[in-house]
Structure 1
Amino acid sequence: RVDEALHEQAEIDLERITRALHQYKLDNLRYPSPDQGLYALLESPVLEPLSPRWAGPYLSRSSLIRDPWKRDYIYHSSDAPPSFSVKTLGADGVEGGSGENRDLLVVFESDSDY
């Protein structure tokens, strides 16, 4: 039951991160760059591209950018078209797997450049 609870927590985290990324994009007209990472949801980025309209923090606590197994969520983004993915590798920290080791992934790709 503990393993399933950790996956449920990861699913909730991914939903929160997804909402925060969309809010970030509404304010800044783009998602954080891969170099800025999910940390840009907590503090205004210091790496280019800067975000002068940053209105965060977009997440309530820094622990939300780490999965329930205490590893950073894996984040990728693109500007054309605007898109992102956020992933956890599950309990084992290795790509693939099933049960407690299964990966969880959220992918979003906009159908426009705005």
Structure 2
Amino acid sequence: MKSSKLARAAARGMTLIEIMVVLVILGLIASAVAVNVIGRQKEAELKKAATDVQNIANQGVDAFRVMRGRYPSTEEGLRILIQEGFLKANQPDGSIKDPWRNDYVYLYPGQKNPDGFDVKSNGPDGQPGTEDDIVNY
């Protein structure tokens, strides 16, 4: 008889309280994952922008100078580096944008490097001259 009671209890399934406990546990796990992923996303965007700025400066501008004997002008900007194959565009329109969909800034002569050039991203806020700018100098 005892085994038939156990069989009926098992056949009934889970109680409402058991289901609620499972949902609370899943919610806690999901919130912990979301907090970690969002923090990592911002960190990854900053690192990508810093890497892009250095690649533009080294593989683009410096390589152009070695091959052409001069730096690109501010007017030529990064466009000439893409056209001549020194850099690869990361947008369908043939431009290079930072992780926040803003154009990278190229200046020659540079404001910070008057004897050279400046390459920078205006950072997450998109505003020039703020503390979150990412620069090659």
TM-score scaled to structure 1, two decimals?
0.70
Amino-acid identity (%): 32
* Cα shift readout 1:15-53 (whole Å, capped 9, x = no counterpart): 21012111100111111100011111011xxxxxxxxxx
Q: In structure 2, how many angstroms separate the alpha carbons of the residues matched to 1:78 and 1:103?
A: 19
2:69 counterpart residue number: 29
Q: Are the aligned partners of 2:109 and 2:118 in contact in 1 as well (CA < 8 Å)?
A: no
Count of residues in correspondence between the two structures: 90
Distance 2:109 2:126 in 1: 24
Q: 2:130 aligns with which of 77, 96, 113?
A: 96
Greater relative contact order (CA < 8 Å, ≥ 6 in sequence): 1
CA contact (8 A) 1:30 1:82 kept: no
What do you get for the CA RMSD once the two structures are aligned? 2.0
Which residue in the other structure is 2:85 paired with? 57
State the alpha-carbon separation in 1 of the partners of residues 50 and 80 from structure 2.
20
Displacement of 1:62: 4.2
The CA deviation at 1:89 is 1.3
- Please state if 1:70 is matched with 2:101: yes
Among 106, 117, 121, which residue is 1:84 paired with?
117
Unaligned runs of 5+ in 1: 44-55, 108-114
AA partner of residue 87 (structure 2): L
User: Following superposition, which runs of at least 4 residues in structure 1 exceed 4 angstroms of deviation?
Assistant: none
TM-score w.r.t. the length of structure 2 is: 0.59
Q: Is 1:3 aligned to 2:42, yes or no?
A: yes
In structure 1, what residue type is equivalent to 2:73?
S
Task: Give the aligned residue type for 1:78.
Answer: P
